[in-house]
Structure 1
Amino acid sequence: MSDEERILKHFLLSSPPGQFDLILEDLKGLSELSPEFVEQTRSEYNSKTGKEVLQSTENLEFGNLQQDLGNYVDKFYKSKDVNSNYVIASNSEGGANIIIYAERIQLQQFHSGSWTARYSIEKDEDSITISGKVVLHVHTFESGNLQLNSTTDFPSSKVSMAGIVAQIQKWDEELMQNLDSIYENMSSNILKKLRRVMPVTRTRFDWNIAGHRGVRQLGMEVKKNKE
Structure 2
Amino acid sequence: MSRTAALASFVESTPPGELTDVTKAIKSILGDDSAQSDLAPAFQRYNEEQFATVKLPGGSGEVLVSSYNSLGNDRYYDVESQSSFAFDHATQKASGVKSYVLESTHSDLVKSLLKSLGIHTSEHYPKSSLGVYPTEDDSQLAIITVANKYSPSNFWNGRWRSSYIYTPSSGSISGIIKVDVHYYEDGNVRLLTNKVVQFSVGANAGASEIVRQIANAEKKYQEDLNKAFGSLSEGAFKALRRQLPITRQKIEWEKISGYRLGQDIGGGRVR
Per the shorter chain, which TM-score range?
0.7 to 0.9
**Could you say which residue in structure 2 is the equivalent of 1:157?**
200
| C-alpha separation in 1, matches of 2:189 and 2:29 | 24
**Could you say which residue in structure 2 is the equivalent of 1:199?**
none
**Could you say which residue in structure 2 is the equivalent of 1:144?**
187
Normalising by structure 2, we get a TM-score of 0.65
* Residue 107 (str. 1) matches residue 107 (str. 2): no
* Residue 167 (str. 1) matches residue 222 (str. 2): no
| C-alpha separation in 2, matches of 1:16 and 1:190 | 25
C-alpha contact (below 8 Å) 2:7/2:39 kept by paired residues:
no
Where in structure 1 are there 5+ consecutive unaligned residues?
Answer: 196-203, 220-227
CA deviation map 1:128-166 (0-9, x unaligned) = 111111111001112322100001000232342231000
- The count of corresponding residues between Structure 1 and Structure 2 is 198
The structure carrying a bigger helix percent of its residues is 1
Normalising by structure 1, we get a TM-score of 0.76
C-alpha contact (below 8 Å) 2:15/2:182 kept by paired residues:
yes
| C-alpha separation in 2, matches of 1:44 and 1:138 | 20
**Could you say which residue in structure 1 is the equivalent of 2:164?**
119
* Residue 55 (str. 1) matches residue 55 (str. 2): no
Please state how far the C-alpha of 1:89 moved relative to its aligned partner: 0.6
The CA RMSD over aligned residues, in Å, is 2.8
Please state how far the C-alpha of 1:95 moved relative to its aligned partner: 2.1
Name whichever of 60-69 and 136-145 sits farther off: 60-69
Please state how far the C-alpha of 1:169 moved relative to its aligned partner: 0.6
Matches within 5 A, 1:211-226: none
| C-alpha separation in 1, matches of 2:157 and 2:235 | 24
Change (3 A) 1:170 1:218: farther
| C-alpha separation in 1, matches of 2:179 and 2:36 | 29
Give the residue type in structure 2 aligned to 1:191: F
Please state how far the C-alpha of 1:52 moved relative to its aligned partner: 4.2
Where in structure 2 are there 5+ consecutive unaligned residues?
Answer: 55-61, 65-77, 81-101, 245-249, 259-271
Report the structure number with the largest CA radius of gyration: 2
Moved over 3 A (4+): 32-35, 188-193
| C-alpha separation in 2, matches of 1:218 and 1:138 | 35
**Could you say which residue in structure 2 is the equivalent of 1:222?**
none
Identity %: 22
Give the residue type in structure 2 aligned to 1:186: L
Name whichever of 35-44 and 95-104 sits farther off: 35-44
